Amino acid sequence: MLKIYFQRFKQNKLAITGLVLILILAFLAVLAPFISPFDPAEQNLAYRLESPSFSFLLGTDDLGRDVLSRMFYGIRISLTVGLVAVFISVIIGTVLGLVSGYFGGWTDTIIMRLVDIMLCFPTFFLILLVIAFLEPNIYNVMIVIGFTSWPGLTRLVRAETLSLREREFIQAAELLGLSRWRIFFVHLLPNVFSPIIVSATLGVGIAILTESGLSFLGLGVQPPTPSWGQMLTSGKDYIHIAWWLSLFPGLAILITVLSFNLLGEGLRDVLDPRINE
């Protein structure tokens, strides 16, 4: 089965493109301390707003800091926030979805009403509301994004679980007297794993976009830690005389989010049996 999935994945050029771009970004993030030409926090007003050149390949910002070095370190922030936030949301969404779909009854009603309440609020504004009461830093940003991004996955896992609950192998496991935990982790979870992977992959791009938006508004990662959203904020005041301050972080956000979306769509095509029938 894994060989079949691998063959399907290799035939999906867009998914391969997304995976290659993500691997390149991860490689640059790991090697950031070694390949960055300058300290990303080092200020030198003598080189303030230098345009791209051989000395500064992507130019400098309003404090004379090297944009390329800050871009490399910004990859670390974006990938860390995206992966950690999605990990939190996947854990919450998967557990609640399995419990809701398998047990049904009042348990299902309570969880689904909670999901409905969460979905009543626009996610970004809900995050803004929570961040307003917390200290804006990378840890709070990851936690808040993770704890507000699970409702969609909960509904997805619940729908899959409701379908699986009526299958013969689940009923056979119940008749054999297997514990509910064993049914959960041995029989249900592996069968809902495919949609979880796809949702998580797409969710990373959304989390990165959310973090960039928060940092742009000054409610995300705080200086001097480099963040692409934060770089866009500093660049907007100089967009007419220093175009590079907005162009390169914007392109980085676009490419990163697009890469995860391409990979997620590719995985959906590979893992969804209904598409491959």
Kindly report the three-state secondary structure assignment for every residue of 165-230. HCCHHHHHHHHCCCCHHHHHHHHHHHHCHHHHHHHHHHHHHHHHHHHHHHHHCCCCCCCCCCCHHH
In a domain, 246, yes or no: yes
State mean pLDDT over 207-215.
Answer: 89
Query: Which has the higher per-residue pLDDT, 220 or 114?
Result: 114
The answer to whether the beta carbons of residues 205 and 257 sit under 8 Å apart is yes
Q: What is the mean pLDDT of residues 12-17?
A: 86
Q: Residue 249: pLDDT band by 50, 70, 90 thresholds?
A: very high
C-alpha to C-alpha distance for 66 and 89, rounded to whole angstroms: 35
Residue 67 lies in a domain: yes
The domain of 58 spans 2-271
Query: Which pLDDT score, from 0 to 100, does residue 85 have?
Result: 93
Does residue 207 sit within a domain?
yes
Residue 276 has pLDDT above 70, yes or no: no
Beta-carbon count within 10 A of 10 CB: 11
What residue type is assigned to position 77 of the chain? I
CA 14 – CA 16 distance, rounded (Å) = 5
| pLDDT digits 0-9 by tens, 72-112 | 999 999 999 999 999 999 999 999 998 888 888 898 999 99
The predicted-structure confidence for 24-83, as pLDDT tens digits, reads as follows: 999 999 999 999 999 888 888 888 888 898 989 998 988 889 999 999 999 999 999 999
Establish if 23 belongs to a structural domain. yes
Number of domains in the chain: 1
C-alpha span between 37 and 56 (Å, rounded): 9
277: in domain: no
The H-assigned helical ranges of the chain are 2-11, 13-30, 32-35, 67-103, 105-120, 123-132, 138-147, 151-165, 168-175, 180-182, 193-216, 228-236, 244-271
Is the pLDDT score of 121 beyond 60?
Answer: yes
For residue 73, give the amino acid letter. Answer: Y
Please check whether residue 276 lies inside any domain of the structure.
Answer: no
Radius of gyration from C-alpha coordinates of the chain:
22
Q: How far apart are CA 248 and CA 70, in angstroms?
A: 11
Write out the two tokens for 99. Answer: 């419990």
Q: How far apart are CA 157 and CA 144, in angstroms?
A: 21
- Which CATH number covers residue 254? 1.10.3720.10
What pLDDT does 2 receive? 66
- Which residue has better confidence, 255 or 102? 255
If one compares 256 and 8, the residue with the highest pLDDT of the two is 256
Q: Looking at the predicted structure, is the pLDDT value of residue 132 above 80?
A: no
